[in-house]
């Protein structure tokens, strides 16, 4: 790994140069015209930090507590599918990097390493399992049971994907999972859930989702999920206060404000834009996290000032993985840790508890002066 890699952008540029087009386009693309994909970063860039001076910041604590578990910093890894397309270390390497960093790793249902193998690879890591509800509820029930037995600490139920969004790069590439890889969480079954085949119509992933995911799920199905697990439930994909209030009513423990990496409906807000209204509506009752566009330590600071308790990032971990496997992800996490530490020190904060809402404003705040 190049010692001159000092930012997530460095890892991104290298990953873009080495990944095969099928895999690269799957990881990097957003929905339709990719307006929301660009907005995820642009929205962060429109926020200004208001630092405070002459504060003793010689000692700093980056740690926080998430669903009762202490983590070393408010930055974890979001679920992303099929990580062995980036590097043979895949999900196991990503989880080991999170274990070393003392933070949370969320494993995708559509992983190329099984629940059990990730648990064995990183037994001390705080792991959550990202869940889709399949039309065959026995599949979902089995996944939940396996995650519980493997020591996962929470379920992150994705609620923004009754269908997968229009991802034009995948359609053009006729995306499929490389032949040497399988969806490892289904290897012990004889269902068609193990493989994403090529499709004459376009993306094989879209065909997979349309054939197996349950597009009829409603808020009533949260009660069903609660009935089959004792794990806390995090709803991933909430973007409005109205849905946040419904999430509180059905009794979930947390919300992950997310637009699915801008891969679902183009034209939705950036996650950081949607965050404040959700925090205002339910932040006193539920833990609120966010992902989408997080690739610098200052992004984490801004999100925490606007009310998030934790940030997650997906693509930066993939760029680290593609660059140097587990060690690449460790390096990316370390960069974000150091940048966030500097953000704390240079704003007059010694811990996440010192970050106040008034420390981050929209750029329009200054145009009014």
Least confident of 40-49, 136-145, 192-201, 357-366: 192-201
The pLDDT value given to residue 57 = 98
The two structure tokens encoding residue 367: 């145009």
Q: How confident is the model at residue 182 (pLDDT cuts 50, 70, 90)?
A: very high
Q: How confident is the model at residue 190 (pLDDT cuts 50, 70, 90)?
A: very low
Q: How confident is the model at residue 362 (pLDDT cuts 50, 70, 90)?
A: very high
> Considering the chain, what is the average pLDDT of its residues?
94
| Residue 218 counted as domain residue | yes
The two structure tokens encoding residue 104: 């949370």
Q: 280 versus 179: which is more confidently predicted?
A: 280
Q: 255 versus 207: which is more confidently predicted?
A: 255
Mean pLDDT of 57-72: 98
Least confident of 214-218, 338-342, 358-362: 214-218
Mean pLDDT of 256-277: 98
Residues 6+ apart with CB under 8 A from 321: 83, 86, 87, 89, 90, 93, 94, 328, 329
| Residue 95 counted as domain residue | yes
Q: 306-326 pLDDT, tens per residue?
A: 999 999 999 999 999 999 999
Query: Does residue 85 register a pLDDT over 80?
Result: yes
Q: 86-104 pLDDT, tens per residue?
A: 999 999 999 999 999 999 9
Least confident of 19-23, 46-50, 219-223, 364-368: 364-368
The pLDDT value given to residue 189 = 57
What count of other Cβ atoms lies within 10 Å of the Cβ of residue 272? 28
Q: 278-310 pLDDT, tens per residue?
A: 999 999 999 999 999 999 999 999 999 999 999
Q: Which long-range contacts (CB under 8 A, 24 or more apart) does 217-220 make?
A: 217/133, 217/159, 217/162, 219/246, 219/250
The CA-based angle 21-107-259, given to 5 degrees, is 70
The pLDDT value given to residue 43 = 98
Query: Does residue 26 register a pLDDT over 50?
Result: yes
Q: 128 versus 190: which is more confidently predicted?
A: 128
| Residue 211 counted as domain residue | yes
Query: Does residue 145 register a pLDDT over 60?
Result: yes
- Containing structural domain, residue 16: 8-367
The pLDDT value given to residue 202 = 59
| Residue 77 counted as domain residue | yes
The pLDDT value given to residue 143 = 96
| Residue 3 counted as domain residue | no
Mean pLDDT of 199-219: 73
Query: Does residue 47 register a pLDDT over 80?
Result: yes
Q: Which of 16, 180, 260, 362 is catalytic?
A: 260
Mean pLDDT of 6-31: 97
| Residue 2 counted as domain residue | no
Number of domains in the chain: 1
319: left (phi over 0), alpha (psi -120 to 50) or beta: alpha
Query: Does residue 191 register a pLDDT over 60?
Result: no
| Residue 1 counted as domain residue | no
The pLDDT value given to residue 3 = 77
Does residue 362 carry a catalytic annotation? Answer: no
Q: How confident is the model at residue 195 (pLDDT cuts 50, 70, 90)?
A: low
For residue 328, give the nearest of 86, 124, 52, 26 by alpha carbon.
86
Mean pLDDT of 45-74: 98
The two structure tokens encoding residue 76: 């974890």
| Residue 316 counted as domain residue | yes
Q: How confident is the model at residue 194 (pLDDT cuts 50, 70, 90)?
A: low
Mean pLDDT of 136-152: 96
Assign residue 72 the CATH number of its domain: 3.20.20.70
């Amino acid at each position: 790994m190049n010692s001159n890699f000092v930012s997530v952008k460095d890892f991104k540029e290298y990953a873009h140069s080495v990944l095969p087009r099928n895999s690269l386009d799957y990881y990097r693309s957003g929905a339709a015209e990719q307006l929301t994909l660009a907005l995820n970063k642009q929205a962060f860039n429109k926020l200004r930090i208001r630092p405070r001076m002459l504060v003793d910041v010689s000692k700093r604590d980056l740690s926080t507590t998430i669903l009762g578990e202490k983590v070393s910093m408010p930055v974890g890894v979001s679920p992303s599918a099929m990580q062995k397309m980036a590097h043979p270390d895949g999900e196991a390497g990503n989880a080991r990097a999170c274990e070393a960093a003392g933070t949370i790793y969320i494993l995708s249902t559509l992983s190329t390493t099984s629940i059990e193998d990730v648990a064995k690879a990183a037994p001390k890591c705080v792991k959550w399992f990202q869940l889709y509800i399949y039309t065959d509820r026995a599949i979902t029930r089995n996944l939940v049971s396996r995650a519980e037995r493997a020591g996962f600490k929470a379920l992150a139920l994705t609620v923004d994907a009754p269908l997968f969004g229009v991802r034009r790069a995948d359609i053009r590439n006729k995306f499929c999972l490389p032949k040497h890889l399988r969806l490892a969480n289904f290897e012990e079954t004889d269902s068609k859930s193990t493989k994403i085949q090529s499709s004459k119509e376009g993306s094989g992933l879209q065909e997979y989702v349309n054939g197996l995911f349950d597009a009829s799920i409603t808020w009533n199905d949260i009660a069903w999920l609660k009935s089959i697990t004792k794990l806390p439930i995090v709803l991933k994909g909430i973007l409005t206060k109205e849905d946040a209030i419904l999430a509180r009513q059905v009794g979930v423990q947390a919300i992950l404000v997310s637009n699915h990496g801008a891969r679902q409906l183009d034209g939705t807000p950036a996650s950081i834009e949607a965050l404040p209204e959700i925090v205002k509506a339910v932040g006193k009752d539920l833990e609120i996290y966010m992902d989408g566009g997080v690739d610098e330590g200052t992004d984490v600071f801004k999100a925490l000032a606007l009310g998030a308790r934790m940030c997650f990032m997906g693509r930066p971990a993939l760029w680290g993985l593609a660059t140097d496997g587990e060690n690449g992800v460790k390096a990316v996490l370390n960069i974000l840790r150091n940048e966030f530490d500097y953000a704390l020190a240079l704003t007059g904060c010694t811990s996440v508890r010192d970050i106040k809402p008034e420390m981050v404003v929209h750029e329009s705040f200054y145009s009014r002066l």
